[in-house]
Amino acid sequence: MADGSQSVTFLALILPFLAAAIAPALTRVFKHNAAWVLALAPLFLVVHFFGYLGDVADGRTVTGGYSWIPSLGVDFAWFIDGLSLTFALLISGIGTLIVLYAGGYLKGHEQQGRFFSFILMFMGAMQGLVLSDSFMMLFVFWELTSITSFLLIGFDHAREASRRAAIQALVVTGLGGLSLLAGLLVIWAATGQGTLSGLLATGDALRAAPFYLLALVLVLGGAFTKSAQFPFHFWLPNAMEAPTPVSAYLHSATMVKAGVYLLMRLNPVLGETVWWETILPVFGGTTLIVGTLLAIRQTDLKLMLAYTTVASLGLLVMLTGFGSEIAIEAAVLYLVAHSMFKGALFMVAGLIDHEAGTRDVRRLGGLRSAMPITFAAALLAALSMGGLPPFFGFLAKEEIYAALNFSGGWNGVFTVVAIVGNALMLVIGFAVALKPFLGAAVETPKHAHEGPVLLWLGPLTLAVVGLVAAVFSGVSHHYVSEPMAAAVAGAPVEIYISVVPHASLALLLSLVTIALGIAIYLLLDRARDAMAGVLAAIGWGPDRGFDQVIRGLIRLADAVTGVIQNGRLEVYMVVTFVMIAIAVWTPMLVFDELPSMPSVPDLTFYEWTVFAIAIIGLGAVVYAADRLTAIVSLGIQGFAVALLFLLLGAPDLSFTQFMVETLSVVILALVMTRLRLHPSDHRPTPEKLLDMTIAGACGLGFALLLLKVTQIPFDATLSEFFSTYSYVIAHGRNIVNVIIVDFRGLDTLGEIAVVMITGLAILALIRIRVPRTSKQPEAAS
Amino acid sequence: METALTGLVGLFYAVSIYMMLSKHIIRVLLGIAIFGNAVNMTIFTAGRVLREVPPIIAEGRTALDGVTANPLPQALILTAIVISFSFFAFLLVLAYRAYQELGTDNTDEMRIAEPEGEGLPPLGY
């Protein structure tokens, strides 16, 4: 790879983020027309990635990157093959149209700049996700898409439904992201490969590894949550709370396909096992059926589309899981087709909402003359979604039915699942694209008319591309479908399917699907009521389960906090000192480090006297019946300590101690006489005994520890250092003073600062008088 | 000497912890004052006790002669005494002001920051 191309690709990776940074300022200047400028960023990406099409179609891959964390073997590296290139083109191509669409959709919204910023950030994250080579980079971008999705779903943060949907999406996909991280780490540990390109070159190593199943389940945890597979599907319909450009872009065309991307990417190393070919089709097939059935129930255009998106993702997972080459071709074709027609239909739904003021399919009708361009785009997209020739969706559906034509016990079941699913999707596609436009004109909240060019450009372009790509299927297969399928299959693939219908079993199944779909479409209202009845009978779903889990978490947190943080100082102190006693005693007992029995101390008469004074002082503090006695006794033990220091060769300590103790007693006496405080003990006897036990255990523990310390040999290196250099270097004879003002001078400076700050804090405490009604006085603010 | 001192240090710890376990703020304060002494004596004892002679270099010499007390723990304790005194003074004033504002010296009754029976936090989104 030439260096120039490398830096351009790097620029392409960061360009959306740069555009996101300038979007708010640009929007302030140009208002909604900033979209025309901002769309240049994704357009640049489209042009740049188009340049790789030829190389990739010839079977080459493009890699490049920079060193990121060399010590961990993590690089900022990208890897472009047919799979990532197709995704990159979808992301940047649809992204260009979405930016323009958002310009029209949120025209006049005061936060439009922020919206542009979020959606461009998402684009950058998604782009990075599909181009990443190293696992760490993949994971970071993966999580970044979850976070930007959270920001976009919660864009209208004043509504509770928005906030809930945003949190729900973040929790579900975030947890999935953690699962993915664990899975990638397992793969990394099992194969020693930290990059996708490296991993794909290992062949069967991962399948043979003992942790294969663990890695598979963890990776699926990430993929299934991101791609909304049953039973994690519930966050996706709720995410429709986001503005429509977000639904069209993130929640149908790109982000939700990240899970499918991951599965396709890892298919060559994780696939072709019994587990893979069981779990994926079962979950995918279930999601397909559940998604379409729930879609029938909806009346909101966006929700109908959202559930069919769930269903389509299920179909993709199912196909990826079959493992046969033709199934992979079908998955690839369907993924591309779906991105285009679903993105277009979402934009149409938003356009209808924008112009007519409602998205309720029962309150819409006869818009074809008012909005002809929108109708055209909707019709083209719906025909593709319904799988009719000559649209790209037709190619996909023919290939799907061809893929089902394999031998296996569950063949029949999956065929029925696919037929029912596809028929229901055709129903929804027609319901969204036809119902609002056909029939008699219905009174809508707003007087409907055709939207501005910014709004219809996107859906129309996508719908037309879906048609052109199918008509020139040879070209699109050569440059897009075949390289992508080859990357998924791990071997070169050739696709022959074209828009010309040819007699085969697949065509027959297609006809069955279309007939079934049209039949249900005519009975849609009745089917909807029936589904509503079934759902009401079931009553519970994962969506309500999510609420229950979140509430349960809050209750649990509250209960735990109530126990740990109960607001009683006494309890905190008891726990603290019990832990200290355990910490002191355990090592001594477990490692048999108890001190040996000391000999009876040999002290002089006056030394014993000082000890006695200290003990009497301590006893008096505990048993003092009034506050003056307690204060005086505190002074007694302090002076006894000062005397000990004096006797044991520490005159400096002694003087300081004398001064401090005197000051303490004086201040205490001054403060205490102003307050009606009881210094004596009011604890009931059992409590006293407990506290005494804890205190005794701590005291004895410290004493034994100290005794042990004094029984091991003394290392006098430091003391000798000070003795040797005190006069020679620092020119002082009193070594203690030299240490304080010279060797550890900075330390002393810190100490002085502490004393000064304490003085200021005390001053503040005394001076601040807050009214009775407010809370506690602020300490040292 | 060290053996006798360790015993005394243990007693200092026991008494100060016992005082700190009380509900009455003034007893907690007394406990903290004693705790400071206990810690200082721990450092002192751990540095070994060599009796009377202070670590001062005699006139005309450049280093210590013979056995003297260990200077390092003394320097550390000197800092510690002053710090623990400022700490004590601050806590004393804090207790005094808390008593003035709240009218109680019982820590169980000081519950403005963590009121009892607050109920669950909001369960919505």
What ipTM was predicted for this assembly?
A: 0.92
Q: What's the rounded Cα separation, in Å, for the pair B30 and B28?
A: 6
Domain coordinates in residue numbering, chain B: 2-51+69-109
Is residue A48 packed enough to be buried (19+ CB in 10 Å), middle (13-18) or exposed (0-12)?
middle
Partners of B36 on chain A (C-beta within 8 Å) are: none
Q: Look up residue A740 and give its DSSP letter.
A: I
Which of A348, A650, A323 is closest to A488 using CA atoms?
Answer: A323
Please check the confidence at residue A615 and state whether its pLDDT lies above 80.
yes
A781 pLDDT band (50/70/90 cuts)? Answer: very low
Q: Is residue A584 part of a domain?
A: yes
Subunit contact B12:A699, Cβ cutoff 8 A: yes
A778 pLDDT band (50/70/90 cuts)? Answer: very low
Sign of CA dihedral A277, A282, A285, A288: negative
Q: What's the rounded Cα separation, in Å, for the pair A155 and A708?
A: 64
Give the amino acid at A101: Y
CA distance, residue B55 to nearest chain A CA (Å): 6
Structural domain span for residue A660? 569-713
Q: Look up residue A249 and give its DSSP letter.
A: I
pLDDT in tens, A580-608: 999 999 999 998 888 888 888 778 888 89
A683 and chain B: CB distance < 8 Å anywhere?
yes
CA distance, residue B56 to nearest chain A CA (Å): 5
Q: What's the rounded Cα separation, in Å, for the pair A445 and A449?
A: 12
Name every residue whose Cβ is closer than 8 Å to that of residue B18 and which is 6 or more positions away in sequence: A622, A691, A692, A695, B31
pLDDT in tens, A260-287: 999 999 999 988 888 998 899 999 999 9
Partners of A692 on chain B (C-beta within 8 Å) are: 18
DSSP string, A471-505: HTHHHHIIIIIHHHHHHHHTS-------SS---SH
Partners of A714 on chain B (C-beta within 8 Å) are: 48
Q: Is residue A596 part of a domain?
A: yes
Name every residue whose Cβ is closer than 8 Å to that of residue A280 and which is 6 or more positions away in sequence: A220, A263, A317, A318, A320, A321, A322
Q: What's the rounded Cα separation, in Å, for the pair A562 and A555?
A: 10
CA distance, residue A12 to nearest chain B CA (Å): 38
A777 pLDDT band (50/70/90 cuts)? Answer: very low
pLDDT in tens, A281-312: 999 999 999 999 888 888 888 999 999 999 99
Subunit contact B3:A710, Cβ cutoff 8 A: yes
Q: Are A342 and A305 in contact (CB under 8 A)?
A: yes
Q: Which residue has the tokens 């100290």?
A: A706
Q: Are A118 and A148 in contact (CB under 8 A)?
A: yes
Report the pLDDT value the prediction gives residue A680, as an integer from 0 to 100: 60
Give, for A413, the enclosing helix (H) or strand (E).
helix A411-433
Q: What's the rounded Cα separation, in Å, for the pair A462 and A344?
A: 6
Which of A422, A367, A360 is closest to A393 using CA atoms?
Answer: A422
Best residue in B16, B57, B91 to probe A by mutation, most A CBs within 10 Å?
B57
A561 and chain B: CB distance < 8 Å anywhere?
no
Q: How far is CA A141 from CA A16, A132, A138, A182, in A?
A: 13, 8, 5, 15
Give the amino acid at A317: V
Mean pLDDT, range A68-82, rounded to an integer: 87
Report the pLDDT value the prediction gives residue A1, as an integer from 0 to 100: 44
A772 pLDDT band (50/70/90 cuts)? Answer: low
Which of B24, B58, B36, B40 is closest to A677 using CA atoms?
Answer: B24
Residue burial A10-29, b: 16+ Cβ < 10 Å; e: rest? eebbebbbebbebbbebbee
Best residue in A604, A626, A660, A721 to probe B by mutation, most B CBs within 10 Å?
A660
pLDDT in tens, A658-695: 999 999 889 888 887 776 666 566 678 888 889 999 99
Phi, psi of A488 (to 5 degrees): -70, -45
Q: Is residue A272 part of a domain?
A: no
Please check the confidence at residue A780 and state whether its pLDDT lies above 70.
no
A323 CB-side CA count, 13 A: 16
Q: Are B108 and A568 in contact (CB under 8 A)?
A: yes
Please check the confidence at residue A368 and state whether its pLDDT lies above 90.
no
DSSP string, B51-75: -S--SBPPTT-SS--S----HHHHH
Lowest mean pLDDT among A230-234, A690-694, A753-757, B108-112: B108-112
Q: What is the mean pLDDT of chain A?
A: 88
User: Which parts of chain B register pLDDT below 50?
Assistant: none
E runs forming strands in A4-113: 62-69, 74-80
Subunit contact B24:A647, Cβ cutoff 8 A: no
Looking at the structure, tell me whether residues A627 and A640 fall in a common domain.
Answer: yes
Mean pLDDT, range A52-61, rounded to an integer: 86
Looking at the structure, tell me whether residues A584 and A703 fall in a common domain.
Answer: yes
Please check the confidence at residue A121 and state whether its pLDDT lies above 70.
yes
Report the pLDDT value the prediction gives residue A779, as an integer from 0 to 100: 45
Please check the confidence at residue A406 and state whether its pLDDT lies above 70.
no
Phi, psi of A415 (to 5 degrees): -65, -45
Mean pLDDT, range A571-588, rounded to an integer: 93
Q: Are A634 and A664 in contact (CB under 8 A)?
A: yes
Subunit contact A702:B34, Cβ cutoff 8 A: no
CATH number 1.20.1260 given to B2-51+69-109: no
pLDDT in tens, A449-505: 888 888 889 899 999 998 898 888 888 888 888 888 888 888 888 888 877 777 777
Report the pLDDT value the prediction gives residue A773, as an integer from 0 to 100: 52
Please check the confidence at residue A763 and state whether its pLDDT lies above 80.
yes
CA distance, residue B115 to nearest chain A CA (Å): 8
Instruction: Locate A508 and state its tokens.
Output: 């027959």
Q: Is residue A682 part of a domain?
A: yes
Name every residue whose Cβ is closer than 8 Å to that of residue B62 and which is 6 or more positions away in sequence: A727, A728
B8 and chain A: CB distance < 8 Å anywhere?
yes
The total number of structural domains that make up chain A: 2
Subunit contact A653:B12, Cβ cutoff 8 A: no
Please check the confidence at residue A2 and state whether its pLDDT lies above 50.
no
CA distance, residue A292 to nearest chain B CA (Å): 29
CA distance, residue B95 to nearest chain A CA (Å): 10
Best residue in A157, A671, A715, A772 to probe B by mutation, most B CBs within 10 Å?
A671
Looking at the structure, tell me whether residues A733 and A689 fall in a common domain.
Answer: no
How many Cβ atoms are within 10 Å of A527's Cβ, its own excluded? 17
Mean pLDDT, range A707-719, rounded to an integer: 88
DSSP string, A138-162: HHHHHHHHHHHHHHHHTTSTTSHHH
Q: Is residue A389 part of a domain?
A: no
Partners of B46 on chain A (C-beta within 8 Å) are: 706, 709-710
Q: How far is CA A211 from CA A183, A190, A208, A223, A320, in A?
A: 10, 7, 9, 18, 22
Alpha helices in A624-744 (DSSP H): 627-647, 651-674, 685-711, 717-730, 735-738
Does residue A647 sit in helix, strand or coil? helix
Q: What's the rounded Cα separation, in Å, for the pair A737 and A75?
A: 56
Looking at the structure, tell me whether residues A742 and A613 fall in a common domain.
Answer: no
Lowest mean pLDDT among A366-375, A609-618, A678-687, A735-744: A678-687
Q: Is residue A468 part of a domain?
A: no
Residue burial B15-35, b: 16+ Cβ < 10 Å; e: rest? bbbbbbbbbbbbbbbbbbbbb
In B36-95, the residues whose Cβ lies within 8 Å of chain A are 37-38, 40-42, 44-59, 61-64, 68-72, 74-75, 77-79, 81-83, 85-90, 92-94
Q: Is residue A27 part of a domain?
A: no
- B106 forms beta bridges with B24
Subunit contact A653:B88, Cβ cutoff 8 A: no
Q: How far is CA A239 from CA A302, A360, A673, in A?
A: 10, 17, 66
Query: How many secondary structure helices (H) and strands (E) does chain A include?
Result: 34, 2
How many Cβ atoms are within 10 Å of A774's Cβ, its own excluded? 10
Best residue in B70, B76, B83 to probe A by mutation, most A CBs within 10 Å?
B70
pLDDT in tens, A129-142: 999 999 999 999 99
Subunit contact B108:A570, Cβ cutoff 8 A: yes
From B115, which residue of chain A is nearest by alpha-carbon distance?
Answer: A567
